[in-house]
Amino acid sequence: MEINQQGLFDRVAKIMELIERMQYKLSDEELEGLMNFLPPDSRHSLSAFFESRFRDTSIIFLKAISNWILRARIAPEQGKKAIIVPFNFPVEFIHGFSKAYPITSEVLSTLGVVALEGQGERYWDMAMGLGLPDHICSSNTIELGSMLGSVDFKPQAIVSAAPGGCDVNAKIHEFVSHYLDIPQYILQKPPDDSERGMEAYIKYTNTLISELEEFIGEELSEDRLRSVLGKANRCTELYYELWDLHKARPSPVPNIFSLYIYAIRFSIWGTDEAITALEAMVDLCKKRLEAKAYPAKEERARTLWVYTSYYFDFPNLFNWMEESGYSHLGDGLDLFFPQPVDLSSMDTMVEGLATAAWNMPMTRQVGGESMSRQWTEDVVHSARELNADCAIYCGHHSCKQTWSVVSILRKELMDRLGVPLLILQGDSWIRKMTPISVIQHEIEEFVNNVVSSKKKTKRKLRKRRQNNNQQQGE
């Protein structure tokens, strides 16, 4: 096989083998030695995980993710069906089957961008080579492009929860299903916030279960599902602990944890590894809270990213922001607000799965009856709860649904909370479109000219009011 025909999954899995062998505690010298084995792009991106202030926790997280990848690789040998799912599908659904294993395309694309030399560009180009338009979404096209154009791990089916939430992802899933000649199972979201909409969604969920049972050749076991969802419930508790920790000023939650939370949600939610990683994150944040540890001199701005972040340069986004005093309070992909599942019967658990799918990011917001209403409500709620000073929209060019209504979100945020929204433009997974230096510059200008001056105006107003009160008192 020619080297440039190697698929993304196989290459990522090789990097994951290294992580699997890594010790839980690494000194700076050991880390330096290890990183020297990696090519420049991989070394640069992966370095973001190993900042000394959260290195140990990152290693626990990375080992959990590498374990997920490596188990997917051997799944077919073990008689398990490897099923591609999108990020907006609750993976615990597939973990509930003993003979199936979920692989999330967006997580794989992101891992490819982070861990591979040349990032994911080769695979994007393979998809473009088929004539696919350049305005489709790199988040899943990078991984799916690898499946279409290289010698790579081949899944046995696709489950798509994109219809109703995202046209472009739904189309790519359909395309890949036909091109690779593998079955596609759909969970469509009615754009209907009423009880009738939820009833229909539960019906669709039940149909999907039946279809998957037939395909996998296994009836969904009540005991196994209860065990998986019990673990998912523990993940939910830990999610809200992290949510509460985010509220403190300065934020004790490292910026990159925003990403860890949803990486876990999209891949291993409902597993022991997810619980271990989330517990480690909570522990670290509690320690930081107690020690009032913050990597910059002061927390200059608390930013809420309203949809995705950028994933092609972690050190220069998450870590740079933190070191500049800009807290990343999470992004739109963290807004899945999980609810504890009632484990008392199969029916309640299936309903819990449907509710989880309904509340997955994107489905919950732009898959709603209105594309802007729930999105706005979630962002306003989060900005208020987490004391955000400002919001940032990454402007991933493929997100036509959010681009369609971001003007409404911006107006509502300003009208209701006085929180300004910075609208950026770029591709979240491809570094060529908007370089990270431009993104950094825009964030700095926004904080310096809009957020800080807004704070100063508030302070001046407060001072003036105090002076007036004093004068009146005299």
Partner 1 sequence: MKMEDVLEQAAVMQNEYLKKYKSDGGRVIGYACIATPVEIVEAAGMLPYRLRALGNNRTEIADAHLSRFNCSFCRSVLQLGLDGTYDFLDGLIETNGCDHIRGMFENWQYVNPSEFFHYVRVPHVMTEDSLEYFTNDLRLWSEALQKHFDVAISEDDLWSAIRQQDRIRAKLKKVTEMRERDEPAFTGTEVMAAFLLGTAMMSTDFEKVLDRLIEQRENHKITDIKARLLLGGSATDEVEFLEMIESQGGHISADNLCYGSRAFWGREAGESGDPYAVLAGMYLENLPCPRMFVEFPYRRDLMISSVERAKTDGVILVHNKFCDVHGVDNVQLRLALEKRGIPVLSLEKEYGATADLGRMKTRVQAFLERIAG
Residue 151 has phi, psi (to 5 degrees) of: -90, 105
Give me the phi and psi of 103, to 5 degrees please.
-125, 125
Under rule CB under 8 A, residue 147 binds partner 1 = no
Rounded Cα–Cα distance for residues 362 and 358 (Å): 9
Q: Using an 8 Å Cβ cutoff, are 118 and 41 in contact?
A: yes
Query: CA 381 to CA 375: how far, in whole Å?
Result: 10
Residue of 34, 64, 166, 379 interacting with partner 1 (CB under 8 A): 166
Q: Is 171 in the site for partner 1 (CB under 8 A)?
A: yes
Q: Please state the closest distance from residue 159 (CB atom) to partner 1, in A.
A: 12
User: Of these, 131, 181, 223, 290, which contacts partner 1 (CB under 8 A)?
Assistant: 131
The window from 3-11, 124-132, 282-290, 351-359 that contacts partner 1 (CB under 8 A) reads: 124-132
Quick one: which segment of 32-40, 112-120, 289-297, 365-373 binds partner 1 (CB under 8 A)? 365-373
Closest approach, Cβ 408 to partner 1, in A, equals 5
Buried b (16+ CB within 10 A) or exposed e, 87-123: bbbbbbbbbbbeebbbbbbbbbbbbbbbbbeebbbbb
Interface with partner 1, residue 76, by CB under 8 A: no
What's the min distance (Å) between Cβ of 147 and partner 1? 15
The per-residue DSSP string of 214-242 comes to HHHT-PPPHHHHHHHHHHHHHHHHHHHHH
Q: Which is nearer to partner 1, 69 or 406 (by Cβ)?
A: 406
Question: How far is Cα 255 from Cα 319, in angstroms, rounded to an integer?
Answer: 7
Q: Under the criterion CB under 8 A, does residue 204 sit at the interface with partner 1?
A: yes
Please choose, out of 52-60, 74-82, 170-178, 320-328, the segment that lies near partner 1 by the rule CB under 8 A.
170-178
When the beta carbons of 209 and 284 are compared against partner 1, the nearer one is 209
Enclosing H/E stretch for 158: strand 157-160
Report angle CA 70, 318, 30 to the nearest 5 degrees: 55
Neighbour-count burial of 349, counting CB atoms closer than 10 A to its CB (0-12 exposed, 13-18 middle, 19+ buried):
buried
Among 52, 78, 207, 339, binds partner 1 (CB under 8 A): 207
Q: Does 416 bind partner 1 (CB under 8 A)?
A: no
131: left (phi over 0), alpha (psi -120 to 50) or beta: left
Nearest to 273 by CA among 236, 226, 335, 231: 231
Q: At residue 214, what are phi and psi to the nearest 5 degrees?
A: -65, -45
Closest separation in Å from C-beta 309 to partner 1: 18
Look up tokens 């449907």; give the residue.
354
> Min. distance of Cβ 205 from partner 1 in angstroms?
10
Supply the minimum distance, in Å, between the C-beta of residue 65 and partner 1: 29
- Residue from 60, 62, 114, 168 in contact with partner 1 (CB under 8 A): 168
Q: Break the chain down into helix, strand, coil percent, rounded to 5.
A: 60, 10, 35
Quick check: 348 binds partner 1 (CB under 8 A)?
A: no
Residue 210 sits in the site that holds partner 1 (CB under 8 A)? no
Residue numbers 174-203 binding partner 1 by CB under 8 A: 174-175, 178-179, 184, 186, 188, 190-192, 196-197, 200, 203
Closest by CA to 294, choosing from 246, 354, 340, 253, is 253
Contact string (CB under 8 A) for partner 1, positions 263-302, x = contact: ----------------------------------------
Helix (H) or strand (E) holding 81: strand 81-85
Q: Which is nearer to partner 1, 25 or 135 (CB)?
A: 135
Q: Six-digit token pair at 93? A: 């659904």
| Residue with Cβ nearer partner 1 (26 or 408) | 408
Q: Is 408 in the site for partner 1 (CB under 8 A)?
A: yes
Q: Sign of the CA dihedral 104, 109, 113, 118? A: positive
**Options 133, 244, 292, 457; binder of partner 1; rule CB under 8 A:** 133
Site mask for partner 1 (CB under 8 A), range 368-407, x = bound = -xxxx------------------------xxxxx-xxxxx
Distance CA 65, CA 47 (A): 16
> Cβ 333 to partner 1, closest distance in Å?
18
Question: Which residues would be at the binding site for partner 1 (CB under 8 A)?
Answer: 130-133, 135-136, 160, 162-164, 166-168, 170-175, 178-179, 184, 186, 188, 190-192, 196-197, 200, 203-204, 207, 366, 369-372, 397-401, 403-408
